[in-house]
Structure 1
């Protein structure tokens, strides 16, 4: 039997064993999740796709009565094992919590150099709205400067702006995505108080 307590497993082997134990065939499972008849066989025997999409994984987990983690979902970190990045500019302010495995999968930065910044104002609308939370990598600053969104300090205030580098001259432009706000062209990195690169954002939809 498949042991749901195993800390590590191969989702393909797990699915193959479940099929054998329950007398299921690959083609029927493929039809169950709305895919072509060869989909499950290709996943198990050829490794295509590399990971089951979330929707298909959920259907199969419910069908077999097992956790989605057995079929490749990221494990849920126990309470107390989440990473809670400090909020930039807000002492002792509670922020969002992230599972370490999720951070490792999406970012190269170690968790200790990630911070959260709450967006204020509309300078970066519609990309970023007031109240959005942005994850900032403090280790990604002037040494690796490239086009993208960065947190910087302007007149004592923390802001996020889009930086674009001139392809020939050693200068950059600080841009607002909202055309109502002016850009600042012809600057050097030394003129900016860069905090880090913005690598993720989250917002409330309603």
Structure 2
């Protein structure tokens, strides 16, 4: 917004709310003629940042209306959505992990999760074998660069042969140990374990 537009807007807001420019100036801790001179004489050429903020709050408008710079929205973090649900039950049989589209994640959350660009994916959990940690229908975000379980157990999306599943995994004695959280879950199938990524975030609908 150019300076003249900001002056016109401020004058109109003062008239709208029936407040004098001198009263607004005193609210800002300025001399009573401060805003009158700003609007009529163009001095100062633009409002001080703190003055603009307080006036915007007073009138309940965006600072851009009073000459503030438009804030560019930070682009959201995009991550692929895999086409088959990761199973927390018997397992979902897949030939490969194929993206069927994309989801978006708040960039601040992506930074908090330390997700590098292109290093995440989202899947839907199916089954009950990871209850209570994960419920059927939960959506999970995985870090596909974190594929090295250590001695501390964590939840990973893995593939055993052609079965994609989400399980708790730990490294013990040079081997990966895989298990379900639910005591009544069926045994984890035997076979070579391929780690797809570690679960770093969980999204659950209110129940």
Give the TM-score taking structure 1 as reference length: 0.53
Counterpart check, 1:195 vs 2:196: yes
> Which residue pairs with 1:108 in the alignment?
114
Counterpart check, 1:99 vs 2:100: no
> Which residue pairs with 2:155 in the alignment?
149
Deviation string 1:92-116 (CA, Å, 9 cap, x unpaired) is 6455421223211x12221311000
Aligned match for 1:173, one of 174, 177, 180: 177
In the TM superposition, 1:27-42 aligns within 5 A as none
> Which residue pairs with 1:85 in the alignment?
79
SS in 2 for 1:85: strand
How far apart, in 2, do the equivalents of 1:145 and 1:64 lie?
57
How far the C-alpha of 1:205 sits from its partner, in A, is 1.4
How far apart, in 2, do the equivalents of 1:83 and 1:119 lie?
21
Deviation string 1:10-51 (CA, Å, 9 cap, x unpaired) is xxxxxxxxxxx679xxxxxxxxxxxxxxxxxxxxxxxxxxxx
Deviation string 1:99-145 (CA, Å, 9 cap, x unpaired) is 223211x1222131100011011110111011111101110103867
Runs of 5+ in structure 2 lacking a partner? Answer: 1-26, 30-56, 63-70, 85-97
Structure 1 pair 113/201, CA: closer, same or farther in 2 (3 Å)? Answer: same
Runs of 5+ in structure 1 lacking a partner? Answer: 1-20, 24-61, 68-74
> Which residue pairs with 2:128 in the alignment?
122
How far apart, in 2, do the equivalents of 1:103 and 1:138 lie?
13
Per chain length, whose mean CA-contact separation is higher, i.e. which structure has more relative contact order (CA < 8 Å, sep 6+)?
Answer: 2
Give the TM-score taking structure 2 as reference length: 0.52
How far apart, in 1, do the equivalents of 2:195 and 2:126 lie?
17
How far the C-alpha of 1:191 sits from its partner, in A, is 3.0
